[in-house]
Amino acid sequence: MAEIYLSLGSNIEPKELYLNKAIIELKNKINIKKVSSLYSSESIGYKSKNNFLNLALKAETSIKPKLLLKFIKSIESQLGRTASKVYMDRTIDIDIIFYGLEIINSKDLIIPHPSAHQRRFVLEPVMEIDNDLIFPSSNSKIADLLDEVKIQKIKKIKNFNIENI
């Protein structure tokens, strides 16, 4: 079993419902151990009037990374996400941040997620789950990486209770 961290986000209403539905689907194939609080963040890479609702989760799975990605893409599609080469508003976004200590750099999949170390909306929820976690490709603590990301603003909205979904 591999320990994985996923980052989930939505900026199309009903945001929390999309996150809940994604977690319900994820629970069908992965063993979710812990979920962060919900955070609000501005879009990155494009302008949008809609803030994102974000969270991170820690889970265990025996699904290999490329099959996990395929499973995640099927959930995104099921929840109305359309594939696009440009950043745009979305019903759901699920990213594999870490897959154990593996470092994967293929055409279809890069783990750790290539932008995770630059995104407060990823680092802060992950750090909430495990503040001693080490970023596999850099051997830096998440807390140290978070200190370097100064300009992005995120706000903790509320605790997330997985038993409520």
pLDDT by residue (tens digit) across 14-73?
999 999 999 999 999 999 999 999 999 999 888 899 999 999 999 999 999 999 999 999
**Known catalytic membership, residue 93:** yes
Interacting residues of 129 by C-beta distance below 8 A, sequence separation 6+:
5, 34, 35, 36, 56, 57, 58
Write the single-letter amino acid at 21: K
* pLDDT beyond 80 at 88: yes
Q: How high is the pLDDT of residue 110?
A: 96
Catalytic one of 89, 93, 120, 130: 93
The confidence band for 164, taking pLDDT boundaries of 50, 70 and 90, is: confident
Residue 112 neighbours by CB under 8 Å, 6+ apart: 97, 98, 103, 135, 136, 137
Options 90, 120, 144, 147, the catalytic residue: 90
Tens-place pLDDT, residues 91-128: 999 999 999 999 999 999 999 999 999 999 999 999 99
According to DSSP, the residues that pair with 5 across neighbouring strands are 58, 98
Asked about 81 being catalytic, the answer comes back as yes
pLDDT for the residue numbered 65:
98
pLDDT tier, 75 (very low <50, low <70, confident <90, very high otherwise)? very high
- What is the third-level CATH fold of 2-164? Alpha-Beta Plaits (3.30.70)
Helix H or strand E segment including 6: strand 2-10
Beta bridge partners of 13: none
